[in-house]
Structure 1
Amino acid sequence: MINAIRLENFGMHERVAWQNLRPLNLILGVNGTGKTFILKAMYVAMRTLEQYKRGNAQQSLPDILQEKLHWTFQTDRLGDLVNKANHAKLTFAMTVDNDKSISYEFGRDTVGKILKAGTTFQRNRDSNTIYIPAKEVLSLQDVILKSREQDMMYGFDDTYLDLVKALQLPRQRGKNYQYFAASRRLLRDILGGAVDYDEQKHQWYYKKGNTRYSINTTAEGIKKIAIFNQLLANRYLTPRSIVFLDEIESSLHPQAVVAFLQMLYELSQSGMQFFIATHSYFAIKELYLLAQQHHMSIPVLSLSDTGTPAYDDLLAGMPDNSIIDTSIHQYEKEVDFPLENGYAQRA
């Protein structure tokens, strides 16, 4: 589990120091405040740790890190990731599994080679981290694979490529992890059917009753939930996995968002960790209710265009945030509207 992160001069972020992280963690902020940037920075670090000294791989930690940063942020020069507001170096540090860490730094003149990077891990972290972007990938898998593996082109970053490869792993037979089996039943209820992969035709299908539909004609929300179902079924995800969810509400009905978050809570009890970025008041409210119901800490990182982050916890209440403020403002307008109409009619 990620316990804490600290980054300075990373992209648009001058300084973020998020500590005491828990199984469920929330990132808020309007568009352009860097939510995805932070999720990807953590993802790069975790995937580097998981590839480090795995199997017969002989790549050094800086080499793995450099390649992962390059293809995740898709920048020709690593120095382009350094904050332009001052002349200080980009620094990143993350504490994992309570007593281990990974850190690195480089300046704006860095092209590719990272000279200062290290970890206290003696071998790779035995898990599989995954990043689930806002856009679904099932109907795009062939395009993503060709773009990256054949053409070596920018467009779909490593979060997409890693996800497509993970989804293509066959489903495992036999008894699944206890929490995973229960969660998959919840997912099937949300889906209202099943999504399967035809290995011979290399195509995904949505099946409802006895009818099978092309994945291209299936709703975006169904495809997004099916992604998670497949990762549980093929056991790419384990109880030590970390999952990054960008705009969890994308293409999902609020009722499905609530059910999805209930399932994530159940999975978090198995040991999995989640980082959720959202613009949805429904998602924030449901996480707040989960925190109150189970008396559990859910740390919140709120980003703003002022550049100064705020740190809250849903166990202590709903945080001050533009998403929440907008929802409250709409409610107040709705309450005041009948009074204003009534006054105008009487006048």
Structure 2
Amino acid sequence: MIKKLKITNFTVFPEAALTFGRNLNVIVGENGAGKTHILKLIYSILATSWEEGRKASAGPTKAGLQRALADKLVNVFRPEALGRLARRRQGRERCDVEASFDNRDLNIGFSFATQSKSEVSLDKVPTSWSNTAAVYLPTRELMTIYPNFVSIYESRYLEFEETWRDTCVLLGEPLQKGPREARVRELLSPLEEAMGGSIELDRNGRFYLRTSSGRMEMPLVAEGLRKLGMLARLVATGALLDKGYLIWDEPEANLNPRLIKRIARTMLELSMHGAQVIIATHSLFLLREIEILLADRAFRRADVRFFGLQSAPEGGISVQQGKAVDEIGDIASLDEELEQSDRFMDAET
């Protein structure tokens, strides 16, 4: 579990220190406030440790990890040069990042300057690799592009961020069997009920939605259901069971309110089963649904944090955090939704 993230001069953030909850973490802000930047930074750190650990027979080395982390940051963010991720002001600036974990052996600190092309300086080297995968779900669904995407991505230069490739790899993993299968079924059944069927992957690498009336190829399925299908598939493979990380950018995108309610409950259920969930949103409906669920007896013990990203008077973005939405300050996009509700009620009366 990631416990803290401290950043200085990273993209739009002059300085920020985020303390995460064990279960669910919700980052709220307007467009351009840096929500996705935080998600991608966390993912880059987690994925580098997981991927390098699967390749290596020994623990992390400073030289090897510096190269791997720099490559991951560039491939995930897709800047022209790594230094473009440092906050831009007059003169040279240095970006510093520190991440601390429940397992202190994973703690890491690194930095890079605005002139850096593709190298980071490792200030704190972890002493072991992560044995837990991180799942990154972008705003776009990936099931329709899945056939042959990974092989093409690895053999051609494509201007797609590497999170797409990584998630497609996890979508293609075999289904979970054995002692954990019952727990998978417990989480999977409500998702399949919401979709009206189950997700199937055929030998040709195409996903289908299997319903009572037959199979439907994924491009013919509504996009909101395809997003739900991604989550269902990752639950079915065990990628999000007992441990791991779910990092999701705008889960509410292209979903109707009924499906948003299902997503909110599933994210909390996954977090209570051991996955640490970190999402970014500017949906008042989703936030309200999460708060409603937290009053439910099943989720009252959930360790949840909310983070509000707001423009700072001195420039850049500041972060307010708390255990409830009303502790993270005013978010303009949320205020607009509330103000519209008031205008609608006035118009009705």
Q: TM-score, normalised by structure 1?
A: 0.90
Q: CA offsets, 1:4-24, max 9 Å, x none? A: 111111112211211143310
1:261 and 2:264 matched: yes
Show the counterpart of 1:304: 310
Q: CA offsets, 1:153-210, max 9 Å, x none? A: 22x11110000011111213333265432111111111111121002x2211112113
Amino acid at match of 1:324: L
In the alignment, structure 1 segments of 5+ residues that lack a partner are 340-347
Show the counterpart of 2:161: 157
Q: Is the 8 A contact 2:135 2:245 kept in 1?
A: yes
CA distance in 2, matches of 1:333, 1:44: 43
Q: Is the 8 A contact 2:321 2:328 kept in 1?
A: no
Amino acid at match of 1:215: M
Equivalent residue for 1:130, pick from 127, 130, 135: 135
Show the counterpart of 1:141: 146
Q: CA deviation at 1:288?
A: 1.3
SS of the residue 1:127 aligns to: coil
CA distance in 1, matches of 2:247, 2:120: 25
Show the counterpart of 2:10: 10
Identify if the C-alpha distance between structure 1 residues 55 and 284 changes in structure 2 by more than 3 Å, giving closer, same or farther: same
SS of the residue 1:124 aligns to: coil
TM alignment of 1:82-161, pairs within 5 A:
82-85=86-89, 87-97=92-102, 99-100=104-105, 101-120=107-126, 122-142=127-147, 144-145=149-150, 147-154=152-159, 156-161=160-165
Deviates more, 1:230-239 or 1:256-265: 230-239
Equivalent residue for 1:322, pick from 295, 315, 332: 332
Equivalent residue for 1:184, pick from 163, 188, 197: 188
Show the counterpart of 2:235: 232
Amino acid at match of 1:303: L
Q: Is the 8 A contact 1:184 1:232 kept in 2?
A: yes
Where does structure 1 differ by over 6 angstroms across 4 or more consecutive aligned residues?
315-318
Show the counterpart of 2:72: 68
CA distance in 1, matches of 2:109, 2:5: 10
CA distance in 2, matches of 1:157, 1:67: 12
Q: Is the 8 A contact 2:138 2:249 kept in 1?
A: yes
Q: Is the 8 A contact 2:307 2:328 kept in 1?
A: no
Give the structure with higher Rg (CA). 1
Show the counterpart of 1:335: 345
Q: CA deviation at 1:146?
A: 5.3
Identify if the C-alpha distance between structure 1 residues 20 and 279 changes in structure 2 by more than 3 Å, giving closer, same or farther: closer
Amino acid at match of 2:308: S
Show the counterpart of 2:85: 81
Show the counterpart of 2:37: 37
Q: CA deviation at 1:238?
A: 3.5
CA distance in 2, matches of 1:172, 1:240: 14
Identify if the C-alpha distance between structure 1 residues 143 and 11 changes in structure 2 by more than 3 Å, giving closer, same or farther: farther
SS of the residue 1:308 aligns to: strand
CA distance in 2, matches of 1:233, 1:295: 26
Q: Is the 8 A contact 1:50 1:124 kept in 2?
A: yes
Equivalent residue for 1:248, pick from 228, 251, 270: 251
Q: Calculate the aligned-residue CA RMSD, in Å.
A: 2.1
Q: CA offsets, 1:255-290, max 9 Å, x none? A: 111111112211111211101111211110011122
Deviates more, 1:2-11 or 1:170-179: 170-179
The sequence identity of aligned pairs, in percent, is 24
Show the counterpart of 2:226: 223
Q: CA deviation at 1:308?
A: 2.1
- What is the aligned residue count? 336
Q: CA deviation at 1:304?
A: 2.4
CA distance in 2, matches of 1:177, 1:194: 15
In the alignment, structure 2 segments of 5+ residues that lack a partner are none
CA distance in 1, matches of 2:327, 2:185: 32
Show the counterpart of 1:342: none
Identify if the C-alpha distance between structure 1 residues 312 and 85 changes in structure 2 by more than 3 Å, giving closer, same or farther: farther
